[in-house]
């Protein structure tokens, strides 16, 4: 398995990708890989390996997502701070785990959206 330090990013427009280029260069952040909608049925493990098997008809939420693979805590803090300080809208950010690496990208995003909504509801005491 490829366990390199990399960010998988999804849902960003060209201007935002330019910000990621800047952040990676300016703050010496690990590289990133763009995930496209037609890659959503693939397992996260395969995306990390560089496999690309495009499939039409993915029902992936229209979200901005950054997934971190194999980052140290210090690198993770640096990346999250840099992203928060430079992007206008806050993406969903998550670490790829031993469990989520075996999920399809589509399933992982759906899970992260549900988790975010649960926290929003319960943070306000609802």
The mean pLDDT values, 10 residues at a time, for the chain of 126 residues are 85 93 86 93 94 81 94 91 91 96 96 91 72
pLDDT for residue 102:
97
Please give the sequence-ordered ranges of beta strands (E in DSSP) within the chain, or none if there are none. Answer: 6-10, 32-35, 65-69, 92-95
Q: Say what the alpha-carbon torsion angle 50, 58, 117, 85 is, to the nearest 10 degrees.
A: 50
Q: What is the pLDDT of residue 126?
A: 53
In a domain, 118, yes or no: yes
Domain that holds residue 61: 6-124
Q: Residue 113: inside a domain, yes or no?
A: yes
pLDDT of residue 119: 87
pLDDT value at position 123?
A: 81
Check residue 125 and give its pLDDT: 60
Cα–Cα nearest to 32, from 42, 40, 22: 22
Residue 105 near residue 44, CB atoms below 8 Å? yes
Work out how many domains the chain is built from and give that number.
1
Q: What is the largest CA-CA distance in the chain?
A: 43
pTM score of the predicted model? 0.90
């Amino acid at each position: 398995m490829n366990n390199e330090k990399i960010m998988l990013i999804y849902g960003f427009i060209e201007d935002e990708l330019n910000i990621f280029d800047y952040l990676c260069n300016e703050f010496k952040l690990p590289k990133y890989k763009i995930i496209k909608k037609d890659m959503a049925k693939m397992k996260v493990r395969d995306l990390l390996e560089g496999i690309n098997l495009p499939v039409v008809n993915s029902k992936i939420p229209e979200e901005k997502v950054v997934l971190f693979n194999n980052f140290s805590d210090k690198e993770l803090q640096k990346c999250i701070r840099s992203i928060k300080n430079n992007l206008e809208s806050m993406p969903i950010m998550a670490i790829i785990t031993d469990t989520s690496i075996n999920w399809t990208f589509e399933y992982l995003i759906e899970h992260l959206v549900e988790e975010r909504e649960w926290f929003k509801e319960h943070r306000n005491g609802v």
